[in-house]
Amino acid sequence: MNIKISGSGTSIVFLHGYCETHAIWKDYAEALSEHYEIALVDLSGHGSSSLTIEDFSIDDIADLVHEELSMNGIDEYFVIGHSLGGYVALSLADNYADSILGFGLFSSSTYADDEEKKKVRDKVKEYILDHGVESFMNSFVDGLFAPENRQRLANEIEEIKQAACKTPAKSVIGYAMAMKHRPDRTSILATSDTPVFVIAGERDMAVRLETSQQMIDLIPQGDSIILPKAGHNGFLENKIESIDFIKSFINQYL
């Protein structure tokens, strides 16, 4: 599994989303590595990490992440996940509680897929099998950004799209199925004895604002922020605001 480590101090692990790579967190690592050890991970089957298992679950991916971190001497860490990365972060918090200093969900959800969303996952699989990854990504990626941000971030969107198109079809399909079958982990958030944050996009069409607000209301200790005019990829759409929030949160709670 590809992992990039920089800085020293308390360990902060960043996990990217579906068909993304560790590169989405580059500016976050630069902003935080002066005072913290930052680990950026390519999840299996993304970026420079090969997909080494088949018919996998979110828990299987979390196991691989935890194993890789341990191999690199990272035994305790705060974990931040965007979208899919948030699902993996929740699995880590559930199954490796002794290692978790807390977690942050960035445009992600504790809730399991409802029946409508499960049908969408199945349609993704069918589309990839019929038309391939590139055709899918050419329409999928744009929808992760609020319409008013697409022109401003045209170059960044193109970079994300190019990286996404390199994701193997078996990874795109495999993760769609893993997300479809993931369990509800709302209780992990609601009963957490470590600090938690939720970052939500005001105009996120993948994780609706009302869903994020429900999670925010359950946070026992921690903080949250709703990014104005941001879609699902607020890490780019509102990057400065997001970095400032995470820096402030970590300084306060870790």
Predicted confidence (pLDDT) per residue in 2-14, tens digit:
999 999 999 999 9
Q: What are phi and psi of 105, to 5 degrees?
A: -105, 115
What per-residue confidence (pLDDT) applies to 21? Answer: 98
Percent of the chain at pLDDT > 70 equals 100
What per-residue confidence (pLDDT) applies to 253? Answer: 97
| Residue 202: band (very low, low, confident or very high) from pLDDT cuts 50, 70, 90 | very high
Q: Are 254 and 228 in contact (CB under 8 A)?
A: no
pTM for the predicted model, two decimal places: 0.98
Give the Cα separation of 17 and 4 in Å (integer): 16
Each residue's pLDDT tens digit, 60-76: 999 999 999 999 999 99
CA end-to-end distance (rounded Å), the chain: 27
Mean pLDDT of 99-113: 98
DSSP state of 73: T
**What's the one-letter identity of residue 166?**
K
Q: Are 188 and 96 in contact (CB under 8 A)?
A: no
Beta strands in the chain (DSSP E): 3-6, 11-15, 37-41, 77-82, 100-106, 196-201, 222-227
Mean pLDDT of 102-120: 98
Q: At what angle do helices 169-180 and 84-95 cross, to 10 degrees?
A: 60
Name the 3-class secondary structure at 7. coil
What per-residue confidence (pLDDT) applies to 167? Answer: 98
